[in-house]
Amino acid sequence: MNYTKLQELLINFIKKQAGDKNLILGLSGGIDSAVVAYLCKKAVQDKLFALLMPTKQSNKENLNDALMLCKKLNIKYQIIYIDDILQNFEKVIQNPTQLRIGNLAARVRMSLLYDYSALYNALVVGTSNKSELMLGYGTIYGDLACAFNPLATLYKSEVFELAKFMGVHENFIKKAPSADLWPNQSDEKDLGYKYEVLDEVLKALENKQSLENFDENLKNLVLERMQNNAFKRKLPTTLKNTYDLA
């Protein structure tokens, strides 16, 4: 892939989507949000704002890396610990599980992003990559919510390559991908396979190629996740029309 051309296309895409508005994104300390921050900074310069929204259980390295990135790129930012908000949710929900609390954390973060987007007249920039979107590996109305998404056409393995090309700090490239929804959470631990392996199946599916040479468990995992999470990629269902009621 021509990453020089790709970077140029993505920067122009961001400029066009931004128009005369500011941009805001959530910086997690992971590679996806780091790449989006680099691209947005190149596209809109000082019209970029970041929210860092850890819990006290979040990986400290992620927060440190996010802060390092803000300082390196001179991005305006604010840190908001979301523990108190989550604890209030936990008081009223029944039988909370780790996954449900993780989803709540993702939705709290997105609620804050949209509130600050109103404050700063800014558009919320998404940070989900194509692999996550195809697999449904994200929280609907949480980290999947955004005004536009620069990485939506890039597989996770391509995001890593773009990060290397752009000179993103090696801390982001070396660490295991994680949504940091609970302690020691890891994308690849949850999914059972590394992204480069999953991406090969996803690319084959996209290109309508045979899957016969792939491991059976791998194939089944990808196909089941895509089927079970297809609703996350669709707009809400509505009645087609009401003309016949007149």
Q: What is the pLDDT of residues 181-202, one digit of tens each?
A: 777 788 888 888 999 999 999 9
Q: Where are the domains of the chain?
A: 3-233
| 242 assigned ligand-binding residue | no
CA pair distance 65, 61, nearest whole angstrom: 6
| 31 assigned ligand-binding residue | yes
**Parallel/antiparallel/unpaired status of strands 22-26 and 48-52:** parallel
CA pair distance 161, 49, nearest whole angstrom: 25
| 115 assigned ligand-binding residue | no
Helix (H) or strand (E) holding 175: none
| 83 assigned ligand-binding residue | no
| 178 assigned ligand-binding residue | yes
| 132 assigned ligand-binding residue | yes
| 33 assigned ligand-binding residue | yes
The pLDDT assigned to 242 comes to 64
Q: Could you say which residues of the chain have pLDDT below 50?
A: none
Q: What is the pLDDT of residues 129-171, one digit of tens each?
A: 999 999 999 999 999 999 999 999 999 999 999 999 999 999 9
Assigned CATH class of 3-233: alpha beta
* 222: nearest Cα among 209, 205, 207, 242: 205
Helices 98-119 and 83-92 sit at what angle, rounded to 10 degrees? 130
| 158 assigned ligand-binding residue | no
